[in-house]
Amino acid sequence: MIMRAHLRLSAQILLIAAVAAIFFFHSACEAANELYAIRSWSSPSATRIVLDIKQRAAYKILTAQKPEHIIIELADFGGRVPAPTVPINDGIVKIVRASRTDSKTIRISIELEKPASTKVFQLEKFMDKPQRLAVDIIRQDLERADTVHREETRKLKQRDTRIVVIDPGHGGEDPGALSPHGTKEKDIVLSIARKTVQLLNKDAGIRAYLTRKSDYFIPLGSRINIAREYGADLFVSIHADSSFSSKPHGTSVYCLSPKGASSNTAQMLAQKENASDLIGGVPLDHTNDDLTAIIVDLVQTNTLNSSITCAGLLLREVGKVNTLRSDRPQQACFRVLRDPNIPSMLIETDFLSNPKKEKKLKSEEFQNCLAGAIAAAVTKYAYEVKPRPSAEPPPTEAAGKQPAPKKFLKEPPAKASREKPQKSSPQIHTVKKGETLNTIARKYHTTPGRLRALNGLTSARKLKAGMKLKVPAEAGNR
Ligand SMILES: [Zn+2]
């Protein structure tokens, strides 16, 4: 009897447990989405908060009582909240708080330093990244200050100063190419770009700027806008490639193609690089651009010829420090090279999928060599291909008649990539003990950058007494 009662009780407990399990399973099914992580990226004028989630989210933005707060409610979210607080403190966002308001709703509260505008959009799954909800917090006052600074740089630039914009590809949510060991293209190219800018800025006649200064994403169109705002005379986008095979290696240099690509490889690469906006995350209202108008303009102007000439010089310089995949510039429809007025090129430094090259690309020494080669090519282009415009106003031919403004590197070379630089015959200087590039440059009324370019010197190479250096003839030893 006791035995039978005990069995009945056990059966009841099992039934209750089964009902509870079914109820729990039902609730879990109803709350279909999940929040895995909260991450952030900081740029000088915006913060991107990324919510890693299971699938596309249903959300609403609530009106906060204080303008320094943004509240987003995520609907149909089960599971646990990954972190109740995520401190950011980047001058734009103080802290992100996540909490559950009921069994199916998660509230994200973003506390700002100052009121700012917000863009919320979904980012689809990509490689190891799950579905994401991106929240861009944009400080328009800081954005405007950035733009004003760039435009003032452009207005203040002296007539003989060349403005070069160096663009490290990818950044933030978009890592670019990945090595099997996890080395990211975005980190390698940022490091090379910083070194290139440093080298270029040693030349008093050149001012170089970066499109991105640290690890955050900039849409491709915005990279061009930054170059325009600076009044760039030249735009160089730096990248590293990867392949399914570990064998490919070497550098390639690309320019825009107004028609098809110069090869299937070039076309595939352009598609890969153009996917950056998709991977990095661009709100829909940022993606329009009128390609047709730009291409027509490009054909009408000579920008492309200048780009190809500069790309040829770059190949010559990089060929001194690395293997080339082709000694001719390749062409394809790269979005980031589409400005109709700024000669632009893109360098794929080498392959991260090749273990030997990955190791080299990570090394300070090889990065310095690549930066030195890019800087030498840019400097050579500035000083050799076209005569340097005079700092003094050119003489007026007739009263009231304004001379046409001289534009740096805008005129077409006679034959694009095969053109030889118009060289003035240099004279030779024998380096004496204790002399540096700076002291020699001063002596010949020129700049260290020009001497480096004339002599194909990379920053890694030291001057030795007895070395013969070419010095510009037109400057002379006055
Ligand atoms: Zn890239």
pLDDT of residue 118: 93
Which helix (DSSP H) or strand (DSSP E) does residue 86 occupy?
Answer: strand 85-87
Tell me which DSSP letter residue 10 carries.
Answer: H
Q: List 40's β-bridge partners, or say none.
A: 49
Angle at 338 between CA 335 and CA 344, to 5 degrees: 105
Output the CA 177–ligand 1 centroid distance in Å.
Answer: 6
Task: Give the side-chain half-sphere CA count within 13 A for 219.
Answer: 17
Q: Pick from 92, 77, 84: which is nearest to 32 by CA?
A: 77
Q: Encoding tokens for residue 254?
A: 């690309």
Output the CA 171–ligand 1 centroid distance in Å.
Answer: 10
Q: How many helices and strands, by DSSP H and E, does the chain display?
A: 12, 17
pLDDT of residue 436: 80
Q: Pick from 146, 89, 82, 135: which is nearest to 112 by CA?
A: 89
Output the CA 127–ligand 1 centroid distance in Å.
Answer: 15
For the chain, which domains are there? 35-139 (2.60.40.3500), 157-384 (3.40.630.40), 423-478 (3.10.350.10)
Output the CA 143–ligand 1 centroid distance in Å.
Answer: 25
Q: Which residue has the tokens 């595939």?
A: 268
Output the CA 418–ligand 1 centroid distance in Å.
Answer: 27
Classify the C-alpha dihedral 451-348-182-280 as positive or negative: positive
The burial of 307, by beta-carbon neighbours within 10 Å (0-12 exposed, 13-18 middle, 19 or more buried), is given as: buried
Q: List 131's β-bridge partners, or say none.
A: 53
pLDDT of residue 424: 41
Q: Would residue 102 be called left, alpha or beta, if left means φ above 0 and alpha means ψ between -120 and 50 degrees?
A: beta
pLDDT of residue 329: 95
Task: Give the side-chain half-sphere CA count within 13 A for 355.
Answer: 2
Q: Block means of pLDDT (10 residues each) for the chain, length 478 residues? A: 48 47 44 92 94 94 87 94 93 96 94 94 87 94 90 76 94 93 96 98 93 94 92 95 94 88 87 82 56 52 86 96 95 88 94 97 98 96 58 33 35 32 57 80 68 64 77 48
CA dist., res. 456 & res. 441, Å (int): 15
CA dist., res. 113 & res. 451, Å (int): 48
CA dist., res. 33 & res. 28, Å (int): 9
Output the CA 346–ligand 1 centroid distance in Å.
Answer: 9
Output the CA 335–ligand 1 centroid distance in Å.
Answer: 12
pLDDT of residue 453: 65
